[in-house]
Each structure stands twice: as C-alpha cells, then as structure tokens.
Structure 1
Amino acid sequence: MNTDQTTAGEDRRWRLRHLPVLLAATGGLAAAAALVGALAQGADAALGAALGVGVTAASYTLSTVVLAWADGVNPQLVLPFGLALYAAKFTLLGVVMVGVASTGWAGLIPLCLGIAAGVVVWTGVHIWWITTVHARRSR
C-alpha cells in the first residue's frame, strides 16, 4: 500500500492541518493592514483593510473546510462542491462589493487592497506549507 494512503487513512485530519498556520498568518496581516490603514487614512481605512483580509480568510477557510469534508466523504464530491462554492462565494462577494461601493464609504479602496493582500499572503503561506512542512511529512 502507498505510504501516503496509509498516512491519510490513519490521520483523518491531514486535510485541515495547514489551516491554523494560514489563519495565524492572515491574522497577523489583518493587524498590520489595520495599522497601515489607520496611519495612512484613519479609522475607515483601518477597518476596511482589516475587513478585506478577514473576507479573504473567511472565504478560503470556508473552501478548505467544505472541500476537506467532501474529500473525506467521497473524493468525487470535491469538484461539484468546489465549483458550487466558488460560484456562490463570488456572487456574494460581487453583491457585497457593489453594495459597499454604492454607499461611498471611505474604506472601500482599503477593503479591496486588504482582500488582495490577503490573497497574496494566504497563497504564499500555503505554498510555503506545501513545499516545506507537508513535503517533510510525506517522506
């Protein structure tokens, strides 16, 4: 039997093991984004930047949990659940962003920048996790 299959069978939580590291990194980013926003443009920018990072973290966490569940139930569920979740999340994000933009809130641009920064940090830390921590465990 393949060692990866044995490990996965014995350790049912492997699909979520990276999540605390990613959440810690985005938590640190949210604090830094709030500080930069506050120093640059005040309270609205601080709130917007931190919320933007939070939106990204919430979105990616939801995807991770749902896809881990689907994979644990039946790997053939990953694609349909992943696509449905993707469509639902981006529809909701679009509706929320249009709604926020229509208010003229001063934190809109920092919100967008926070989302972008959250994507970069989450993706970067995830790549680091896979190439270092996960790679060591797979050997």
Structure 2
Amino acid sequence: MTAAPSPATDRAPWDLAFLRVGSLVSLAVTAVAAPVAGILGGWGSAVAVLVGAATVVGFFVVSGVVIAWAGGIDDAFALPAALGTFLVKLLVLFALLGSLPEDGWLDRLVLAWTVIAGALLWSGVQMRWVWTRQVFYVPPPAPPAAAPADTRAGGPDDGAPDPARPASAG
C-alpha cells in the first residue's frame, strides 16, 4: 500500500533567485551613486551610500530567506514571517539611524535617502521578477511521458502504406 504524498512534497520550492538579481542591480547602482555622492557631498556622503546600500541588501536577503523558510514549512506561515521580519527590520533601521550622531562624519540624510531609494529599487526588481516568471499558484503539472520513437520518416499516421505490413483484405 502506497502512502499519499504529503502536501509539502508536491509543492514547488520557494525561489530565491531574485536575491542575486537584486544584489547585482544594487551593486551597479551603488557603484555609480557612491562616487557621485562623494564628489557632491564628500567622503561622509559616499560612505553613507555604501552603508545604506549594504543595509538594504542585507534586509532584503534576510527577509527573503526567512519568508522562504517559513513558507517551506507551511504557506500559512509566509505572511506572519514577512510582517514579523518587516517589524524587526524597521526597529533595527530606526535604532541604526537614531544611534548615529547628528554632527558625525557619516551623512545621516544621505543614508536615509539611500535606504529609501534602495527599498524602492528592490521593490521594482521584485515586481519585475514576479511579472516575468512562471509562478504557479497550484503545483505545476507533471511533464508528459515520452512516447516510443517511430523510426519511419512520416510517423505512424502519414497516410503512406507500410511495406512491411501486408494490405488487409477488407
């Protein structure tokens, strides 16, 4: 007697490939934004762009991993994991921004705007990722079974008589 497959084994795995794309896009944008900020506002601004970009990438990677882990256990855990992770990230961000001295060498305003721009950038990457991928809301169908290969050129129903078979009498 064969046991029925559990719901966890017939589901598609959570896809975290968007993390690589988002990280690469963030790296490219940061490679342009940090020198521009350095030229316009000094080293404190350039470092603020780097810190802000690293913060955003870290936050999105942590969120993606936690949500995929929770969703891998049960789909019903994905939303609470997302909301809980968002709350923790928000508290960490406020603590980070609040702990920086107002007159310090790191430009807090540039850091804050970098985090906002980075979050919008990652949101755009995620939206494009979802819009351009086949995302199944039910388990994907099994691939069709392979049919035995027919060695004749026309296949079995090409209308030509088969010389190996005698014609039927009626």
* CA–CA distance in structure 2, aligned partners of residues 22 and 112 of structure 1: 19
CA contact (8 A) 1:30 1:49 kept: yes
* CA–CA distance in structure 2, aligned partners of residues 127 and 89 of structure 1: 20
* CA–CA distance in structure 1, aligned partners of residues 89 and 18 of structure 2: 22
Q: Which 5+ residue runs of structure 2 have no aligned equivalent?
A: 1-6, 141-170
Q: CA deviation at 1:27?
A: 1.2
Q: Any residues of structure 2 matched to 1:26-41 within 5 Å, and which?
A: 26-41=26-41
Q: Which 5+ residue runs of structure 1 have no aligned equivalent?
A: none
Matched residues, percent identical? 26
Q: CA deviation at 1:64?
A: 0.6
Q: Any residues of structure 2 matched to 1:19-98 within 5 Å, and which?
A: 19-98=19-98
Q: Which amino acid is 1:68 matched to? A: A
* CA–CA distance in structure 1, aligned partners of residues 103 and 80 of structure 2: 35
The alignment's TM-score, normalised by the length of structure 2, stands at 0.67
Q: CA, structure 1 residues 54+82, in 2 after alignment: closer, same or farther (shift >3 Å)?
A: same
Could you list the per-position Cα deviations for residues 17-68 of structure 1 after superposition, in whole angstroms to 9, with x for gaps in the alignment?
2211111111112222211111111211100012112111111111011000
Which has a greater percent of helix? 1
Q: Which amino acid is 1:26 matched to? A: S
CA contact (8 A) 1:29 1:53 kept: no
The alignment's TM-score, normalised by the length of structure 1, stands at 0.81
Higher CA-based Rg: 2
Q: Which amino acid is 2:115 matched to? A: I
Residue 117 of structure 1 corresponds to 117
Aligned to 1:104, what secondary structure does the other structure show? coil
Cα-Cα RMSD: 2.2
* CA–CA distance in structure 1, aligned partners of residues 47 and 58 of structure 2: 16
Q: How many residues align?
A: 129
Q: CA, structure 1 residues 16+111, in 2 after alignment: closer, same or farther (shift >3 Å)?
A: same
Q: CA deviation at 1:106?
A: 4.2
CA contact (8 A) 2:53 2:114 kept: yes
CA contact (8 A) 1:30 1:54 kept: no
Moved more, 41-50 or 98-107: 98-107
* CA–CA distance in structure 1, aligned partners of residues 82 and 16 of structure 2: 16
Q: CA deviation at 1:102?
A: 4.1
Aligned to 1:55, what secondary structure does the other structure show? helix
* CA–CA distance in structure 1, aligned partners of residues 43 and 107 of structure 2: 8
